């Protein structure tokens, strides 16, 4: 057993490449190319890179939304495929995914109460009145009022909806959150609030974050360590302070140089 929350080894994902009935074969896209990465317990590791570099594909493989072409993933020392096969409880209680578009990620026909109740019942086996108490705790943790529960997702702003989506991820009591561009769809002022909230929740619930973003200013605000992804590969991985002060790889240097809000000493 290892202390690492996540260990990714030589993970590859290739899309397409199959034959069409007529015409040329499908174009093959190597979205993730033999990537290896460790996320330590309690760490916030950011994955940065331009759109199309393979960040979401990597994240989606990690949470089981996409099958790897090859390679392996260990979650808290256990093979993630085996963990998923052993059922939603074993898997969903370890790792949860937070999507970029908060409103779209919440079922529009369900109240927030139902949205939060599902993982509690399914993954934790909680019944009333424990569920009700836990909902109160979660709303309090994400700083939303109690009357949130009887409302529907469309009644909330993007920032509020993302708080609710984060509460849903916490409802499963998973120790690892994969956050895929969690503030990219939000206004800059709201981004800062949600980042502060995420920092607070991490300490409070002893979480580990894999934090995906194309925005270096956001990454600098939250991460301990940064992995830079470029065309499906990591070109540089370093502690955040080192990476921003002294980027080594030419691509990282370009990224840092083009990020307006980062001070370059």
Instruction: Please report, as ranges, the residues that interact with ligand ADP according to CB under 6 A.
Output: 15-16, 29, 31, 49, 51-57
CB of 195 to Mg ion, least distance (A): 18
| Residue closer to ligand ADP (CB basis): 54 or 247 | 54
Q: Provide the minimum distance between the beta carbon of 229 and ligand ADP in the complex, in angstroms, as a whole number.
A: 7
H or E, element range at 3: none
Binding site partner of 213, from Mg ion, ligand ADP, none, Cβ cut-off 5-8 A by kind = none
Q: Which does 15 bind (CB under 5 to 8 A by kind): ligand ADP, Mg ion, none?
A: ligand ADP
Task: Pick the closer one to Mg ion by CB: 4 or 103.
Answer: 103
Whether 160 and 144 have beta carbons less than 8 Å apart is answered as yes
* 53 vs 160 by CB, closer to ligand ADP: 53
Cα–Cα dist 202/200, whole Å: 5
- Residue number with CB closer to ligand ADP (55 or 134): 55
Task: Please report how close the Cβ of residue 57 comes to ligand ADP at its closest, in angstroms.
Answer: 3
Helix (H, G, I), strand (E, B) or coil at 181: coil
Sites of contact with Mg ion (CB under 5 A): 56
Query: C-beta of 215: minimal distance to ligand ADP in Å?
Result: 12
Q: In angstroms, give the least distance from the CB of 2 to Mg ion.
A: 28
State which residue, 32 or 135, has the beta carbon closest to Mg ion. 32
Q: Residue 102: which of Mg ion, ligand ADP, none does it interact with, CB under 5 to 8 A by kind?
A: none
């Amino acid at each position: 057993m290892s202390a690492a929350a996540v260990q990714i080894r030589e993970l590859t994902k290739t899309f397409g490449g199959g034959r069409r009935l007529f015409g040329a074969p499908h174009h093959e896209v190597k979205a993730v190319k033999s990537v290896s990465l460790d996320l330590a317990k309690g760490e916030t590791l950011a994955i940065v890179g331009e759109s199309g570099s393979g960040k979401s594909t990597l994240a989606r493989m990690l949470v089981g939304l996409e099958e790897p072409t090859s390679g392996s993933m260990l979650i808290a020392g256990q093979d993630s495929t085996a963990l998923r096969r052993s059922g939603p409880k074993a898997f969903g209680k370890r790792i949860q995914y937070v999507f970029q578009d908060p409103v779209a990620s919440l079922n529009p026909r369900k109240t927030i109460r139902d949205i939060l109740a599902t993982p509690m019942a399914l993954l934790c086996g909680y019944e009333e009145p424990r569920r009700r108490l836990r909902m109160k705790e979660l709303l309090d943790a994400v700083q939303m009022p109690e009357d949130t529960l009887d409302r529907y997702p469309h009644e909330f702003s993007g920032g509020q909806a993302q708080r609710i989506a984060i509460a849903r991820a916490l409802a499963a009591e998973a120790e690892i959150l994969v956050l895929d561009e969690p503030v990219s769809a939000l206004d800059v002022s709201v981004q800062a609030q949600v980042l502060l909230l995420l920092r607070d929740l991490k300490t409070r619930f002893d979480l580990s974050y894999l934090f995906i973003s194309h925005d270096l200013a956001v990454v600098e605000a939250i991460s301990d360590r940064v992995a830079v992804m470029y065309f499906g590969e990591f070109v540089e991985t370093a502690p955040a302070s080192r990476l921003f002060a002294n980027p080594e790889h030419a691509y990282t240097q370009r990224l840092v140089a083009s990020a307006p809000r980062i001070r370059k000493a």
